[in-house]
Every structure is written in C-alpha cells, then in structure tokens.
Structure 1
Amino acid sequence: MLIPVEDGPAVVACNTCRHSSTAKEDDAGVRGGARMVEALRAVQARDERYSGIAVQEMPCLFACSEFCTVHLRAPGKVGYVLGRFTPDEDAAAAILDYAVHYAQSEHGRVPFKDWPQGVKGHFITRTPPPGFVAQ
C-alpha cells in the first residue's frame, strides 16, 4: 500500500482530486488532481529553481471538500496541506515558489512576506513532523 519515495522536500499532489467544488472532472473528463500534477511537473521542468523539490502524487489526500489539494512536506519540518486551487500552471508556480522558501526554512515556517499571492487563502492544515509538535 505504501510506495517508497525520496525523503526530501516534496509537494505531494492528490491525483484524484475534484476539478472544482462543483465538478469532478474538466471538459475532457480529467480529474483536477491529475491536471494539477501535470501543471506542477510542467512548471518544474521549465525552471531550475524547483529542482530540489520533488513532485510526487498519490490518490486521495482525504481533503475531498477542498479540491485540488497538495501536501507540502520535508524531514523535520512542519507540513502543510493546501487546497482549493485551479489546476493550472499559475497555481503550480505559486505552490512551487512557496515550496522553495519552505525547503530553505529551518522548521518549515515561511514568513508571510515571502508567501506568493497564489497560496494565500489556500492553507487547510498544518501537520507536525514525526516526534514533534509545533509551538
């Protein structure tokens, strides 16, 4: 049931997420999560700044009411689940821009002034790393 992946900074995208609050799929019959994975990989491939961030995917992050969700994680850092994105390259760039700041942070906290506009209002949960709780 579990698939081993590299244990570094990563954006884990739900590849089965709804396309929006009102539709499971887009006009071509593709789930929003699958489109988000495509967008994240396309943006990552064009910009070397994102090379240290793994783009991983899995079915269902169990945030179904939020649609187009991603989990941002790294060893020893607070993790975040973000959602309610439009599955496009603008959202993907904002997520990856935030992920770069996140990866460079000591404990996973990124100062608000460094948040890309495209992630503001999209945070759903904050999760502590194994063996820790956050202050």
Structure 2
Amino acid sequence: MREIVMCTTCKYSVTDKTGPDGRTGGETLIAHMRDAIAARGEAISVATQVCLWNCKRHCSVVLRDDERFTYFTGDHEPSREQADAILDWFAVHGETETGEVPFRQWPDRMRGHFIARIPPVRP
C-alpha cells in the first residue's frame, strides 16, 4: 500500500494559522494535492490526519509505503508547485526497490524537507 498522509491542521505560514481564504496551510496543500493528482489522472490515495505533531516544520506530509521506506517530511509551502514536487518525488520512490531515491533525482522543491526515513514493517 502506498499513500500520502497529510496534516489538516498545519499552519499556513510561520506567523499565520490560516491563509487569505481561511483555510489552514494543511487544508490548502491537501486541496492542491488532490487537484494535482486529478490533473495527472493518477490513482494515489491521500489520507488526512489531524496534527502530525510537527508544528515547528509545517506543512507535514508522510509518504507511506508498506514495502519500501516511508518518509516523514515538513516545511512544505502550501502551493500547487509544492504538491507537484511531492508527487514527482513519490513517483520516483515508487519505481525503486527499497524506496531510496538518489539525491540527484529529487525535485529541487523536495530538498531540505525530509525529517525521517522509516523502514517498512517486515513479518
């Protein structure tokens, strides 16, 4: 199972809980993510979670995979460009055997966002 888990309560910016439209940064990034997935015509699951306990590095996103490494990321800008970069990285991740994506293949917008790498659960 592969899915993207996104925090609904992440702040919009360092100083503001919500953006100009009243949505949190997490809600805004989730909307951009769903639009980006629809535009690509892909079947990627997006799960939402109230608070991922990473408030100092909002917006938080978990790139989950039960066969490869899972990655916990943060400091994402709540924008369509960032949603596209997350999807681009996740696509390359899915093409690897272990989930280890060579740094040279990372979209520029994904550099500096990784917090933790979590190995898959093995039976």
TM-score higher than 0.5 = yes
Q: Which moved more, 1:79-88 or 1:33-42?
A: 79-88
Asked whether the 8 Å contact 2:37–2:43 carries over to 1, the reply is no
Determine which of 15, 19, 29 is the counterpart of 1:26: 19
How high is the TM-score relative to the length of structure 2?
0.93
**1:62 aligned partner:** 53
Q: Which moved more, 1:110-119 or 1:123-132?
A: 123-132
The root-mean-square deviation of aligned C-alpha atoms, in Å, is: 1.4
Deviations 1:76-115 (A, max 9, x none): 2111111111101000000000010111111111111111
1:118 aligns with 2:90: no
Question: Which secondary structure state, in structure 2, belongs to the residue aligned with residue 68 of structure 1?
Answer: coil
User: Structure 2, unaligned stretches of length 5 or more?
Assistant: none
**1:3 aligned partner:** none
Q: Would you say how many aligned residue pairs link Structure 1 and Structure 2?
A: 123
- Runs (4+) of structure 1 moved beyond 3 Å? none
**1:89 aligned partner:** 80
- Write the distance in 2 (CA, Å) between the matches of 1:114 and 1:11: 19
Q: In percent, how many aligned pairs have the same letter?
A: 35
How high is the TM-score relative to the length of structure 1?
0.85
* AA in 2 matched with 1:28: D
**2:91 aligned partner:** 100
1:129 aligns with 2:114: no
Q: Which moved more, 1:107-116 or 1:33-42?
A: 107-116
Question: Which secondary structure state, in structure 1, belongs to the residue aligned with residue 115 of structure 2?
Answer: strand
